[in-house]
Structure 1
């Protein structure tokens, strides 16, 4: 394939953020006396974005009385807490940094496109010295629709001056695959992440990050 651009999801694809994210969830659940959700449902909702995720916790708690203002406050507090613990345990998945370095050397343009709030994303990348690998970093900025809406991917391709035919989207969740499909981009599903394909059908599947290189030969 003549691939000139790779777009990556963040959580569960590039970085293993599970433990730090669970710590944030525990803090909010205890603070607002909310009930946890089954792990698979929690993962599915997390892919939709932080606000939708938070609202689901309130809705899942019998007797919880809440409105938009309370949900917004909980989101704000979760972000503030997360910023203080952004990389206590978060690390790149095996092979990620080495592979990104090789892709950069091959002049492949790299973009991170995530439903994570952009302030959290940039802070995390700065702490882990990850910004150096990427030509573009896009996240939830309260204006762009989130994946599986394709707008974030379309905007990234425009800024990176790439076309759907020479771009790959790599992710661990149906939201990544759905966004790629709607944007006309071939998708790569990583099996080591947190999500599921749901009803989506990825073009390629890899079991470790370094297998991506074989698709770009």
Structure 2
């Protein structure tokens, strides 16, 4: 493994993009299609980051297999239609995201990546909509066990040849932080996401993306 390179991994929903409106809307439509009462906004936000099948099982614990399958497919269909109609506005970037990514990408030793509970199609759509060209590794739910299993982080490190002590996982939910911790990497929570940052027990917490580059500099200078 390289002793020079540093890997900076980001969650997507709730960390780089604010997709809560799109997600809660698609959930409401999916539940309506099967005749179930939609889960509350707080309930939906609590499962963001999980793979979709696990998320639906959490939101509809009494549902049978065919109903859960219908919920998953209904959600996918609703979300995709809204994404095509909404473009960038469907899942807007949080303030400072583009500037932060550009600044980190300009550091020769830094490699940027994504580890998300989104499908590969959903991830690719967000990357294309916002022209997020900096990511050299993209890990999605289609190819891994659901977070907090460490597979996404471990695969990203294997692809880039970066050691755990030179890797950080940045996210907004317990699934992100637990995934990073299990993989043996540094963890950074953002305080604008979908789980309360003070409950995540991350190694570090940032209040804006302006704090990230200085934090990484201190972390890897030590």
Q: Same fold (TM over 0.5)?
A: yes
Give runs of aligned pairs for residues 1-217 of structure 1, distance below 5 A. 4-59=6-61, 66-86=63-83, 87=87, 88-107=89-108, 108-130=110-132, 132-141=133-142, 143-196=143-196, 200-217=200-217
Could you say what secondary structure the match of 2:116 adopts?
A: strand
Could you say what secondary structure the match of 1:91 adopts?
A: coil
Q: How far is the alpha carbon of 1:3 from its aligned partner?
A: 6.9
Aligned-partner Cα distance in 1 for 2:41–2:79: 20
Q: How far is the alpha carbon of 1:200 from its aligned partner?
A: 4.2
Aligned-partner Cα distance in 1 for 2:148–2:203: 16
Q: Which moved more, 1:107-116 or 1:83-92?
A: 83-92
Aligned-partner Cα distance in 2 for 1:57–1:181: 26
Q: How far is the alpha carbon of 1:46 from its aligned partner?
A: 2.8
Assess if the C-alpha contact under 8 Å between 1:177 and 1:197 holds in 2: no
> Residues 94 and 197 (structure 1 numbering): CA distance in 2 closer, same or farther, change over 3 Å?
closer
Deviations 1:44-75 (A, max 9, x none): 22332211222333336xxxxx4323322321
Q: How far is the alpha carbon of 1:173 from its aligned partner?
A: 0.6
Q: Which moved more, 1:156-165 or 1:83-92?
A: 83-92
Aligned-partner Cα distance in 2 for 1:122–1:76: 19
Q: How far is the alpha carbon of 1:198 from its aligned partner?
A: 8.0
Q: How far is the alpha carbon of 1:11 from its aligned partner?
A: 0.4
Q: How many residues align?
A: 209
What is the root-mean-square deviation in Å for CA atoms of aligned residues? 1.9
Q: How far is the alpha carbon of 1:129 from its aligned partner?
A: 1.6
> Residues 193 and 155 (structure 1 numbering): CA distance in 2 closer, same or farther, change over 3 Å?
same
> Residues 40 and 188 (structure 1 numbering): CA distance in 2 closer, same or farther, change over 3 Å?
same
Assess if the C-alpha contact under 8 Å between 1:96 and 1:210 holds in 2: no
Deviations 1:94-131 (A, max 9, x none): 1111110111110310110011112111122212222x
What's the TM-score once normalised by structure 2's chain length?
0.86
- Structure 1 residues without counterparts, runs of 5 or longer: 61-65
- Structure 2 residues without counterparts, runs of 5 or longer: 218-222
Aligned-partner Cα distance in 2 for 1:110–1:149: 20
Assess if the C-alpha contact under 8 Å between 1:83 and 1:123 holds in 2: no
Could you say what secondary structure the match of 1:216 adopts?
A: helix
Aligned-partner Cα distance in 2 for 1:37–1:27: 11
